[in-house]
Chains A and B, each alone.
Chain A
Amino acid sequence: MSTYRNLVFGGLLSGVFICAALISFLWVPYDIEALNIAERMRTPTAAHPLGTDHFGRDILSMVMIGARTSIAVALVAVGIGMGLGVPLGLAAAANKGSILDELIGRGNDLVFAFPSLLIAILITATFGPSAVNAIIAIGIFNIPVFARLTRGSALSLWKREFIMAARVSGKNSLRISVEHILPNLANLLIVQGTIQFSLAILAEAALSYVGLGAQPPTPSWGRMLADSQTMISLAPHLALAPGLAIVFTVLGLNLLGDGLRDIFDPRLRRGRS
């Protein structure tokens, strides 16, 4: 049991927020688009388990729908990163030393050379703040992460005997990459994907915090934090709810990633315990 502690704990923690996001599609306690100024900044009660915000909206409902925004943005962004990064990495590894490999490698360096959040701010500030632009900005920075990981791991696989065998049997490098290399990288990519997912949630929160993520009235954890900033001494629960939601989701996903790696890579686990 204790070997799966990270996995179970992380899975539960992130599961709670993923479930909250899913449930919010069907039901939330209150309509968050109807403001109720008279009921604003109430501390938690039975009717409003997390209290109400400065417009009298139910914070629990806001956090639930906010989870939807965060998770959707992060999911699509990581999807972009994986969808483009993995093929690029496979192509680079299959053509090691070629012009293509160099281009992809230097392209990765180029993107890595910029502080990711600054460029994300630049992109959203240029093309206008919106959830879609936030997704694109975060997604672009996930591409080199996956491209490098894929290339590095694929290179070592290319030297293995079973790849030799596949070559001898006449398969071209595209087929080898898809049929033999990719399946052997799956574990690695899932672990990395989980970690990137948590980073993307953080990035989305940061962008929304500076006003460049999803625009009101769509709730988002980052903007909830920014909105409640000046009221922190007046009504701390306004900042605590979205703040803790970010912390727990990111923590949960990181633990989940660790747990998955322990399972997929037993050598590491033994080494540590």
Chain B
Amino acid sequence: MKLKTLTSAIALTLAGGVAQAETGLIVGIQLEPPHLDPTSAAAGAIDQVLYSNVFEGLTRFGPDGSVNPGLAESWEISEDGLTYTFKLRDGVTFHDGTAMDASDVVFSLDRARAEDSANAQKALFGGIESVEAVDPNTVRVTLSAANGSFLFNMAWGDAVIVATESIENIKTDPVGTGAFKFSNWVQGDQIELVRNEDYWGTPASLETATFKFISDPTAAFAAMMAEDVDVFYSYPAPENLPQFEADSRFEVLVGSSEGETILSTNNLMEPFTDVRVRKAVAHAIDRQAIIDGAMFGLGTPIGTHFAPHNPDYVDLTANSQYDPDLARSLLAEAGYADGFTTTLKLPPPSYARRGGEIIASQLRAVGIQTEISNLEWAQWLEQVFRGKDFGLTIVSHTEPFDIGIYARPDYYFQYDNPDFQTLIEDLTAETDPATRSEMIATAQTIISNDYVNGYLFQLAVPTVVKAGVEGIWPDAPTQAIDLTAVSWSK
């Protein structure tokens, strides 16, 4: 430890001209986390700040979305695919000094799958029958049915390992095993992390990492231009990107995300109960106009609820190509020749606010009138997501591989198709890759043919980075801003 400090001091001296080496990084993000427990809320901002920086899981996502070893350095899967034996890394400690061992893993997984668990993604743990500590460094997980995506599930931010000793105050004082320790949270302003000097793996290059919350796009532009922040993740105003690109002080990374942006439709509200009406809506939408008008060209059209960069993606955009005449005749067939009026509730991001105005205009062209209301996130969650009081809304579903939400009839768009539910159940149990691919393709086709929602485009994630910052993930395979490998080049 001492030797290390000495060598780095020498290296610093040798670097000479560099009077002040950059050791901290300030990251701008739009939303502030409601609290700091990734295992008990759906808010993406929690994972953005904490995932793999502060908390780690048994497995973890790599920058390309691959599943890599995390706190488990290796694992064995039994022949029948029912038993996973994880070998944990040696000498891992939580930030409060307590050891991370098998009992913490058992506690974390049991807590997440418990009856009264507040975990936002309980389905991830659904197939677990038992979790037992074989010895302090070995955990055996038994599944009730083989699950081809179990290791993938364990990499989610919702499946991170927490400690029994520090669970009490996790929402305000998160204690994890990651390369950064939580230091301070100035509510409404920023969260500060500091480097964990006792990290088990490669230590972080940054000494401090600060997440600043800037929700207003104009303020985001000003903060970036004034170099008040070093990185702005998921930059909110795509129209400003050419300016950053032209400026040698900055670099723009446009990455793919898991964000399927959809015109979510309340499948239980008249007249959307009629598949012809939903089909008419799908054909009334000109996706390219929305991508150009709302996102200034950033985004890939999608025809189903699946990420185009995934090898199993099926291009079904032709299923709902822009055809207003067809839309009008479908409406007439369904008995709405004179159109109808519905609500269009829009959350704050510009893809929704601007996209909403464009969609309203396109729907009006085929006779569907929309009453637009612009909502804040809290109101949107209350009215739309939980209250299911909406006709149409626009939102981006940023969780990876989330086609399973269509198998939940109580999910806010309320799609209830028993065949699809069976298919997803079978898919979860299937482990053969070829059969899985086939089933995933079928699932995509079913929801596309049922026109459950209007499928718009895959959200691109533009990140503005100050020149000299290296190691920022360009893509967003999960909701994470992983800073463990980020450094300043000098």
Contacts and interface: CB of A to CB of B under 8 A. Distances in A.
Interface of A: 33-35, 37-38, 40, 54-56, 128-129, 211, 215-217, 229-231, 233-234
B450 interface: no
A129 B218 CA distance: 22
Contacts of B358: 35, 37, 55
Given A217-B357, A230-B239, A233-B243, A37 B289 contact: yes
Interface in B193-218: 217-218
A234 B372 contact: no
A33 B374 contact: no
B239 A35 contact: no
A55 B293 contact: yes
A-B residue pairs, 3 tightest by C-beta: A230-B237, A37-B293, A37-B289
A40 B239 CA distance: 12
A40 B360 contact: no
B364 interface: yes
B396 interface: no
Interface in B360-397: 360-362, 364-365, 371-374
Nearest to B291: A37
A233 B244 CA distance: 12
Contacts of B242: 234
B221 interface: yes
Contact of A33 (B289, B354, B364, B373): B364
A129 B289 CA distance: 27
Contact of A40 (B218, B240, B243, B293): B293
A37 B286 CA distance: 11
A230 B372 CA distance: 22
B374 A54 contact: no
B292 interface: yes
A57 to B, nearest CB: 9
Contact of A217 (B221, B243, B360, B373): B360
A215 B372 contact: yes
Given A37-B292, A128-B373, A129-B374, 14 more contacts: A34-B361, A35-B289, A35-B293, A37-B293, A40-B292, A55-B293, A55-B358, A216-B356, A216-B360, A217-B357, A230-B221, A230-B239, A234-B242, A234-B243
Nearest to A226: B218
Contact of B293 (A54, A211, A229): A54
A59 to B, nearest CB: 15
27 contacts: A33-B361, A33-B364, A35-B293, A35-B362, A37-B292, A37-B293, A37-B358, A38-B292, A40-B292, A40-B293, A54-B239, A55-B293, A55-B357, A55-B358, A55-B361, A56-B293, A129-B373, A129-B374, A216-B357, A216-B360, A216-B372, A216-B374, A229-B218, A230-B221, A230-B237, A230-B239, A234-B240
A37 B243 CA distance: 21
B242 to A, nearest CB: 8
A229 B217 contact: yes
Contacts of A230: 217-218, 221, 237, 239-240
Contacts of B361: 33-35, 55, 217
A215 B372 CA distance: 7
A176 B242 CA distance: 69
Contacts of B365: 34
Contacts of B239: 54, 230-231, 234
A39 to B, nearest CB: 11
A229 B240 CA distance: 11
Contacts of A40: 292-293
A217 B372 contact: yes
A232 B389 CA distance: 36
Interface string B106-118: 0000000000000
Most chain B CB within 10 A, of A35, A38, A40, A234, is at: A35
B383 to A, nearest CB: 10
Contacts of A37: 289, 292-293, 358
B339 to A, nearest CB: 14
Contact of B374 (A35, A55, A211, A234): A211
A49 B14 CA distance: 63
A215 B374 contact: yes
Contacts of B240: 230, 233-234
Nearest to A233: B243
Contacts of B218: 229-230
Nearest to A232: B218
Contacts of A34: 361, 365
Contacts of A215: 371-374
A215 B356 CA distance: 12
A37 B361 CA distance: 11
A32 B73 CA distance: 61
A55 B362 CA distance: 12
A211 B293 CA distance: 20
Most chain A CB within 10 A, of B361, B362, B371, is at: B361
A56 B372 CA distance: 20
Contacts of A55: 293, 354, 357-358, 361
A233 B237 CA distance: 13
A230 B241 CA distance: 11
Nearest to A34: B361
Contacts of A234: 239-240, 242-243
Nearest to B361: A35
A233 B372 CA distance: 28
Contacts of A217: 357, 360-361, 372
Contacts of B237: 230
Nearest to A235: B239
Contacts of A229: 217-218
A204 to B, nearest CB: 16
A108 to B, nearest CB: 32
A211 B347 CA distance: 12
Contacts of A128: 373
A154 to B, nearest CB: 43
A38 B358 CA distance: 13
B324 to A, nearest CB: 12
Contacts of B360: 216-217
Nearest to A234: B239
A35 B357 CA distance: 9
Interface in B213-255: 217-218, 221, 237, 239-240, 242-243
